[in-house]
């Protein structure tokens, strides 16, 4: 247990030293919300609550895909996994430690976003802030668990980074676009980004959203278990 906590602490410190990660995971969502709020001019409107859900879902997705999933690929491609994690026990401990470290950073980003939003843009009641954070934490923990499956993909670090950037952009654009296109309700409920955003922002869930949340949660758990069992050990470049 002590070795797991020590490993988690080291990985947290390593991620804190990434200023680019802080920008994209914390500063960018706050800037987007400030721009959107000024555009609508009503901080108490439905648009504002919806935007908070989008921003928190964005933080959860970006930290899961890039702060956790891509990190696993990077460790593998550097030869670290094959050289130092020579047993199942060591690999499992590293995977859990990295998950906890990435989740810790993501929760800090989410909390920081809510605090900055409440102080700089508009005051958010404590009860509402706690509700936002609780739903964000649940969505983030499940999405990050699902990102474990990225370690099973036969991709180099550069290829994985490019594909994840394209995939994340497509998911966000399609998710936001589906809220404005008539007849796209079914498409919206299969998009994990939009499902997470709605789960975070909405206080009353309709039946379709409940079913979508349960379905995504089960899918995320299955992907996480599959990734933990079948993660690749050898770097992809060594197979060429």
Q: Which residues contact 54 (CB under 8 A, 6 or more apart)?
A: 176, 197, 201
Domain coverage including residue 231:
2-239
Rounded to an integer, the average pLDDT of 134-142 is: 96
Rounded to an integer, the average pLDDT of 178-204 is: 78
Domain count, the chain: 1
What is the Cα gyration radius of the chain?
18
Please tell me the distance from the alpha carbon of residue 236 to that of residue 154, in angstroms, as a whole number.
Answer: 6
Alpha-carbon torsion (30, 103, 170, 191), positive or negative: negative
User: Please, which pLDDT band fits residue 142 given cuts at 50, 70 and 90?
Assistant: very high
pTM of the full predicted structure?
0.88
Please tell me the distance from the alpha carbon of residue 77 to that of residue 234, in angstroms, as a whole number.
Answer: 7
Please, is 47 exposed, middle or buried when counting C-beta atoms within 10 Å of its C-beta (0-12, 13-18, 19+)? middle
Sequential DSSP letters for 3-47 = HHHHHHHHHHHHHHT-HHHHIIIIIHHHHHHHHHHHHH--TTSHH
Q: How confident is the prediction for the chain on average, in pLDDT?
A: 84
Residue % of the chain over a pLDDT of 70 = 84
Q: CB–CB of 113/187 below 8 Å?
A: no
pLDDT of residue 101: 93
pLDDT of residue 2: 72
Please tell me the distance from the alpha carbon of residue 35 to that of residue 61, in angstroms, as a whole number.
Answer: 21
- Reduce the DSSP state of residue 60 to 3 states and report it: helix
pLDDT of residue 23: 63
Residue % of the chain over a pLDDT of 90 = 36
Please tell me the distance from the alpha carbon of residue 172 to that of residue 197, in angstroms, as a whole number.
Answer: 10
Q: Say yes or no to pLDDT of 185 above 80.
A: no
Q: Say yes or no to pLDDT of 238 above 70.
A: no
**Of 79-83, 158-162, 186-190, 214-218, which range is least confident?**
186-190
pLDDT of residue 146: 96
User: Please, which pLDDT band fits residue 36 given cuts at 50, 70 and 90?
Assistant: low
**Higher pLDDT among residues 132 and 37, named by residue:** 132
- What tens digit of pLDDT does each residue of 40-52 get? 555 555 667 788 8
**Higher pLDDT among residues 177 and 82, named by residue:** 82
**Higher pLDDT among residues 97 and 28, named by residue:** 97
User: Please, which pLDDT band fits residue 67 given cuts at 50, 70 and 90?
Assistant: confident
């Amino acid at each position: 247990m002590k070795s797991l906590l020590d490993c988690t602490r080291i990985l947290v410190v390593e991620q804190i030293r990434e200023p680019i990660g802080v920008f994209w995971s914390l500063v960018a969502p706050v800037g987007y919300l400030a721009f959107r709020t000024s555009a609508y001019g009503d901080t108490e409107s439905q648009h504002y609550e919806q935007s908070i859900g989008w921003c928190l879902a964005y933080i959860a997705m970006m930290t899961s895909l890039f702060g956790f999933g891509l990190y696993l690929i990077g460790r593998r491609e550097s030869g670290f996994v094959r050289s130092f994690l020579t047993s199942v026990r060591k690999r499992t401990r590293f995977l859990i430690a990295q998950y906890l470290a990435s989740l810790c950073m993501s929760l800090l980003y989410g909390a920081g976003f809510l605090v900055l939003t409440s102080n700089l843009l508009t005051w958010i009641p404590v009860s509402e802030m706690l509700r936002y954070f609780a739903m964000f934490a649940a969505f983030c923990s499940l999405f990050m668990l699902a990102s474990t499956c990225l370690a099973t993909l036969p991709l180099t670090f550069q290829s994985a980074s490019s594909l994840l950037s394209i995939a994340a952009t497509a998911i966000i654009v399609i998710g936001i676009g589906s809220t404005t296109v008539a007849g796209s309700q079914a498409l919206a409920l299969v998009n994990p980004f939009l499902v997470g955003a709605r789960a975070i922002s909405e206080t009353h869930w309709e039946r379709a959203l409940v079913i979508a949340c349960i379905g995504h949660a089960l899918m995320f758990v299955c992907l996480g278990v599959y990734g933990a069992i079948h993660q690749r050990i050898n770097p992809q470049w060594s197979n060429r």
